[in-house]
């Protein structure tokens, strides 16, 4: 397994697992919560076919990466990403963030600027700022995120079943655009994540303000979102991100749920390949 060491916890190194395939212009794919880089499989196939070098990795606490007790905040996540990019000596690379991964894309520009970054993609992404506050009245009420934390703490496996049903809009798309087996695969991946990381990430993706980070995005930018997203509603996320990032292009996929990179890959992937090409 390919790994990059990004820190140390007591006697053990903190390692980020990654996969690096193909050749051509690099594309770094950043997964959502509480899954792993494995959920990019449809995009990896199509991007490799289009002639890209494709890098996926597992965020700390998830997938095959180390599962430390700390570091579940966007500054640390983005430092992990930067250490991976540096270790692989990537140049002229694109950053593609799904859901929570969109936060790393935004914060990367906020912390490191656009040197060596050629393009940015936000897919079902959480920016600009999910939490409703006095200066962010368009956000989601904090009680919703407290409910997520309570569900994770009370019975994480049961919570994951409910979450994934809404992740894929299974009541509407199950058996057609997403199979029971695909949902089970996601449950297996999510159940293997760090319980501490799963919980702490809720605070990270709900309460981190990316508005200033987005103002530093100065490369061609694509925003893809489903209009039936129950996890990260389109009006509070993609539409607002498109208003902040100058010159960005917003593509709304009709009837698509949060997990549109799986259910609507036939529509998402051609747009992604065209934009990155």
Active-site annotation, residues:
99, 229, 258
**Of 100, 113, 104, nearest to 205 (Cα)?**
100
What is Dmax (Cα atoms) for the chain?
49
The edge-to-edge listing of strands for the beta sheet with 26-30 is 2-9, 12-21, 53-57, 26-30, 93-98, 117-123, 221-226, 249-253
Structure tokens at 88: 């692989």
Structure tokens at 207: 């309460």
E strand residue ranges, the chain: 2-9, 12-21, 26-30, 53-57, 93-98, 117-123, 221-226, 249-253
**Of 263, 217, 6, 183, nearest to 97 (Cα)?**
217
- Cβ-proximal residues to 20 (8 Å cutoff; 6+ apart), any chain: 2, 53, 54, 55, 88
- Cβ-proximal residues to 225 (8 Å cutoff; 6+ apart), any chain: 123, 124, 125, 232, 234, 237, 238, 250, 251, 252, 253, 256, 260
């Amino acid at each position: 397994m390919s790994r990059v060491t990004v820190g140390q916890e007591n006697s053990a190194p903190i390692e980020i697992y990654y996969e690096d395939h193909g050749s051509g212009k690099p594309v770094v794919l950043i997964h959502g919560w509480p899954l792993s880089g494995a959920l990019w499989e449809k995009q990896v196939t199509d991007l490799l076919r289009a002639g890209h070098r494709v890098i996926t990795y597992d965020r700390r606490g998830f997938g095959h990466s180390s599962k430390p007790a700390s570091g579940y905040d966007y500054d640390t996540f983005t430092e992990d990403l930067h250490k991976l990019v540096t270790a692989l000596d990537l140049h002229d690379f694109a950053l593609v963030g799904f859901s929570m991964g969109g936060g790393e894309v935004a914060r990367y520009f906020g912390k490191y600027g656009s040197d060596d970054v050629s393009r940015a993609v936000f897919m079902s992404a959480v920016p600009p700022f999910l939490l409703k506050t006095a200066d962010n009245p368009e956000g989601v009420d904090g009680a919703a995120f407290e409910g997520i934390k309570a569900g994770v703490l009370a019975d994480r496996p049961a919570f994951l079943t409910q979450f994934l049903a809404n992740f894929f809009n299974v009541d509407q798309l199950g058996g057609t655009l997403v199979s029971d087996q695909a949902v089970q695969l996601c449950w297996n991946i999510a159940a293997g994540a760090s319980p501490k990381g799963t919980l702490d990430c809720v605070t990270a993706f709900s309460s981190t303000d990316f508005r200033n980070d987005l103002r530093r995005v100065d490369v061609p930018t694509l925003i893809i979102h489903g209009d039936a997203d129950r996890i990260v509603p389109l009006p509070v996320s993609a539409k607002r991100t498109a208003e902040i990032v100058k010159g960005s292009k917003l593509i709304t996929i009709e009837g698509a749920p949060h997990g549109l990179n799986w259910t609507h890959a036939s529509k998402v992937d051609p747009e992604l390949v065209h934009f990155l090409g």
